[in-house]
């Protein structure tokens, strides 16, 4: 069974990733305009395509 203790290389990699990740404060997140109806249609179509691709394992579920 493998050890659960991370190696020094993994620790360095995690530290590097954590330095890159910065959580935005609430006041930094600006409210966006809602999408126009045309934009919403395009978004819905793209999401349907993605869902259908991932569900394309013989499952009868289609959106």
The residue extents of the domains of the chain are 8-54
Between the CA of residue 60 and those of 44, 47, 50, what are the distances in Å?
Answer: 20, 17, 15
CA dist 50 and 46 (Å) reads 6
Q: What is the pLDDT of residues 22-61, one digit of tens each?
A: 766 666 667 788 889 999 999 999 988 877 776 666 665 5
What does the pLDDT read at residue 31? 77
What does the pLDDT read at residue 6? 76
> Tokens standing for 8?
């020094």
What does the pLDDT read at residue 20? 76
CB 63 within 8 A of CB 45: no
**Which has the higher per-residue pLDDT, 13 or 2?**
13
- Tell me the whole-structure pTM to 2 decimals: 0.39
């Amino acid at each position: 069974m493998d050890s659960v203790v991370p190696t020094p290389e993994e620790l360095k990699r995690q530290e590097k990733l954590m330095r890159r990740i910065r959580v935005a404060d609430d006041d930094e997140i600006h409210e966006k305009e809602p999408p126009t109806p045309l934009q919403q249609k395009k978004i819905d179509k793209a999401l349907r395509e993605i869902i259908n691709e991932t569900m394309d394992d013989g499952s009868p579920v289609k959106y």
